[in-house]
Amino acid sequence: PEPDLEIVVCSGYGKNGALSVLQKSIRPQVVTTFELPGCYDMWTVISPQKAEEATQEEDTQEEGTEKEPSPSEPADDGKRHGFLILSREDSTMILQTGQEIMELDTSGFATQGPTVYSGNIGENRYIVQVSPLGIRLLEGVNQLHFIPVDLGSPIVHCAVADPYVVIMSSEGQVTMFVLKSDTYGGRTHRLTLQKPQLHHQSRVIALCVYRDVSGMFTTEGHSSSSRDELSLRSQSESEAPIQDLSNTVDDEEEMLYGDSSTLFSPTKEEPRRSSFPSADKDSHQYKAEPTHWCMLVRENGTMEVSLVVRPEASSSSGVTEL
């Protein structure tokens, strides 16, 4: 089929009518193209520009001749991608992005073998590079921590949800690491091993880690009070016609035989209805806390959803099956 197929349609109505061109996919504006034979995977990672580098650039410009003012950089440098990591069969290429794309010869990245995964962690301050036999924690081009991993087989898959790093070996062994900011062994940030509590009935063939900030992933209902309130409210409304009928009969008898001053007294139903707390108030008071979940797919076709528990929150740290 033709890949660049376009469909022209009439859209809108009246003065808002127009001709719209529909296409199958996004067509990027190609800036440059170059061949990289043998690359089978790639990642981009964020590397914010440090104040020291910016100061050195300013000093260099002051010492040299007058230069044209450089184009203004974006205000949020913390979200700028600084490195492009290309994995090959037997090596890894590290490209630094900026005004130009150039290859780094010396850095803290592992380049003598393939890369399984690379991404950011610690609110995009650090970079994680996972190789078949270990994990590296970097800040920019500087290596902070290296952990050799021996699972009996090489690492083939990795999933990251800050601050958790979950890896899987070719034989289905799953291990989790957590980024900690406490000082230990002279390091301010390090990766620590956490043993997940998983049964081994079948080999794991795929996994994914998810960070939920909506509160929809939960094992308990926070709206039970609202449901109880609605049931009581509906019950009171169903009893309202009977109470209104009895009040009408009493009013007629008081008009004929008794004192009429009681006609303007508030009914008993009004304070009863106002005594219920509002459901909107309860919904605003509840604030969802971020939770982390691990999805596992086993060789026998079953999928497991597990809650990742922080080491400080439970004595049985790791992955808790649901």
Domain boundaries, the chain: 7-24+37-48+78-217+287-307
How many Cα atoms occupy the beta-carbon half-sphere of 322 within 13 Å? Answer: 16
The domain defined by 7-24+37-48+78-217+287-307 folds into Methylamine Dehydrogenase; Chain H (2.130.10)
CB-CB neighbours of 168 under 10 Å: 23
pTM over 0.85: no
**Strand locations in the chain (E):** 6-11, 18-23, 41-46, 81-87, 92-96, 102-103, 117-121, 126-131, 134-139, 142-148, 155-161, 164-169, 174-180, 190-194, 204-212, 291-298, 303-309, 318-321
User: What is the pLDDT tens value at each position of the chain, 322 positions in all?
Assistant: 566 788 999 999 989 999 999 988 888 888 878 888 889 999 999 986 654 454 445 555 555 555 454 444 444 555 778 899 999 999 999 998 877 888 888 888 999 999 999 999 988 999 999 999 999 999 989 998 899 999 889 999 999 998 899 999 999 899 999 998 776 666 677 888 887 777 777 889 999 999 998 888 876 665 555 555 556 656 655 555 545 555 665 666 565 655 544 444 444 444 554 445 555 555 555 677 888 999 999 999 889 888 887 655 444 445 555 4
CB-CB neighbours of 81 under 10 Å: 13
| CA 278 to each of CA 19, 229, 240: distance values in angstroms, whole numbers, following the listed order | 50, 8, 19
